[in-house]
Structure 1
Amino acid sequence: MRIPLFKRLVIAVLNILFPPVAVMMITGPNEDFVFNCVMFVLAVIPSHIHGFYISLTYFNRKRKVRKGVYPGKPKHLIWSDRVNNGGGSRREIERLRHGKEQSRLGRRNTSRTSGIPERSSSRRRVQEWDDGYKEYAVSPQMSRVGTGRSGRQGR
């Protein structure tokens, strides 16, 4: 289910007219709301920028969480867990974060320069993926033969 366009429009109009109300609708009465109120009293334009920053971050992260993607680290100048988590619970965000780490660990470890797997114990290594695909790789020592590169890393 997508976020209703009406809700986005209401928040955008409130961001233009009175940003603290739009921030309170998204985050609730917390540090972000107080910070936006202080900025609105001291200088109106930064309050608008902060309000749009919060609303765009919230809607972007909410879309990511709905797709099952980890929304990322907390953003600067946003203290609300609701915004940083995209409306998801802490448990859900931890699950998405650990899923991201597992998928990253599942990939093969490659060298930065050559794209060939590092530290293979034999000259030829077979990588078998979950879908049955087999990949053959040559050890880094063999990849240096005939390239004009020495085996030394210190250059």
Structure 2
Amino acid sequence: MRIPLFKRSIITVLNILFPPLAVMMLTGPNEDFIFNCVMFLLAVIPSHVHGFYISLTYFNRKRKVRKGVYPGKPKHLIWSDRVNNGGASRRDIERLRYEKEEGKLSRRATRMLTNESSDRSSSRRRVQEWDDGLKDYAISPQTSRISTGRSGRRQRRDRYADDYSDY
């Protein structure tokens, strides 16, 4: 299930108006919330930056967990497990970490990769067909050297000028 755009927009508006409230909605009343409150009292702008940092990290990691990818190590200045794990449980994160270390992928990630590889092979096939159609008009890569002559103009010099003298 995708995170509703409505929830993201509410978090963004709260980050602009009162960052500690947005942080509390994402992390709960813990160290991140206290740190953001202190920053809000001392200086408002760093509190906004920290609030956006937490919300962007949370939504990015939630997207990774949804795709079946390990979200990564805990970020600096974020103490909440909920944000660092993208809303997933510790057990799910341990499973994703194990799969990453063992080189295994979840079924969903494997399916996505196989779909991408079939798309790549079909695009390679199209490029190969296009290249085959242009073989008659191709110029070797050695003929594309450019130099300047006495007149100062850029001239194209062919390494094998004799081969192309008829054109």
TM-score, structure 1 length as denominator?
A: 0.66
Which residue pairs with 1:48 in the alignment? 48
Which residue pairs with 1:112 in the alignment? none
CA distance in 1, matches of 2:101, 2:36: 35
- Cα RMSD after superposing both structures: 0.8
Which residue pairs with 2:64 in the alignment? 64
CA distance in 1, matches of 2:10, 2:100: 34
The answer for unaligned runs of 5 or more in structure 1 is 105-155
Larger Rg belongs to = 2
Structure number with the higher helix fraction is 2
Indicate the SS of the match to 1:79.
coil
For the pair 1:97 / 2:97, whether they are aligned, the reply is yes
Residue identity in the other structure for 1:33:
F
Q: Could you give the per-residue CA deviations for residues 39-81 of structure 1, whole angstroms, max 9, x where no partner exists?
A: 0000000000000000000000000000000000000000000
Residue identity in the other structure for 1:75:
K
Which residue pairs with 1:121 in the alignment? none
Which residue pairs with 2:162 in the alignment? none
Indicate the SS of the match to 1:71.
coil
Which residue pairs with 1:6 in the alignment? 6
Q: After superposition, where does 1:2-151 map in structure 2 within 5 Å? A: 2-103=2-103
Q: Which runs of 4+ in 1 moved over 4 A?
A: none
Indicate the SS of the match to 1:40.
helix
Aligned pairs, number: 104
% identical aligned pairs: 86
The answer for unaligned runs of 5 or more in structure 2 is 105-167
Which residue pairs with 2:109 in the alignment? none
TM-score, structure 2 length as denominator?
A: 0.62
CA distance in 1, matches of 2:83, 2:7: 16
